[in-house]
Amino acid sequence: MPVAIITGASRGLGLALTAGLAEAGWQLVVDARGAGELAAAVAELGVGRVVAVPGDVTDAAHRHALVAAADRLGGLDLLVNNAGILGPSPQPPLAAYPLGALREVYEVNVVAPLALIQLALPLLRARRGAVVNITSDAAVEPYPGWGGYGSAKAAIEQASRVLAAEEPALRVWWVDPGDLRTRMHQEAFPGADISDRPLPATVVPAFRRLLGDAPPSGRVRLTDLLTGAGR
């Protein structure tokens, strides 16, 4: 059975992807900062082999534990860097953005995913696997107030492009899932009604299609796959 690591898997998109891949027969190593929340989420799945490794992706020892858990399952076919943080809520303009908070946004959304990729590369190369870095339209659109989060996602997108050029035997996709009804999206719009946004589970078929079709490395919008528009 193929093996994947999915970070930030206790809720939202990460949990939806975990459920979708577990149902498809994948073995999974998943993490989240909250041990209790992660254990409850995994217990509710009731399907597949899912190894929960609670911890913070910014912690080097935790990243080593994730890769070691995948190795014990037989290797690694897919790394999904989904864990991330929004930053301050409501989001401030760049002119007033707290620099300490900006450093944390970059540490979680850029540095930690790259550090995990570095550790996972030997296993991924052995299986000619794939890396998925979850991104956002905020990486390519100049939305006022999204300078911190958006620039961090732009950075991980450029890192993904370079990684794809440096590792041609792997698939590297930077995946925009679209606006979803998640806690992070609610934090971005405090007090707003986001009930019109689709649930994360709605994009899982598109993600599974991505893995099945295995197109060349590049930027992927899951909504395009859902509508048949392609990449």
143 catalytic residue (yes or no)? no
Q: How many CA atoms lie within 13 A of 4 on its CB side?
A: 24
User: What type of residue sits at position 179?
Assistant: D
Q: Which of 97, 106, 143, 149 is catalytic?
A: 149
**Tokens standing for residue 68:** 């070691």
Q: How many CA atoms lie within 13 A of 188 on its CB side?
A: 20
- 90 prior amide bond cis, ω within 30: yes
User: Which among 36, 6, 11 is positioned nearest to 184, based on CA atoms?
Assistant: 11
Handedness of CA 184, 188, 189, 191 (dihedral sign): positive
List active site positions: 149
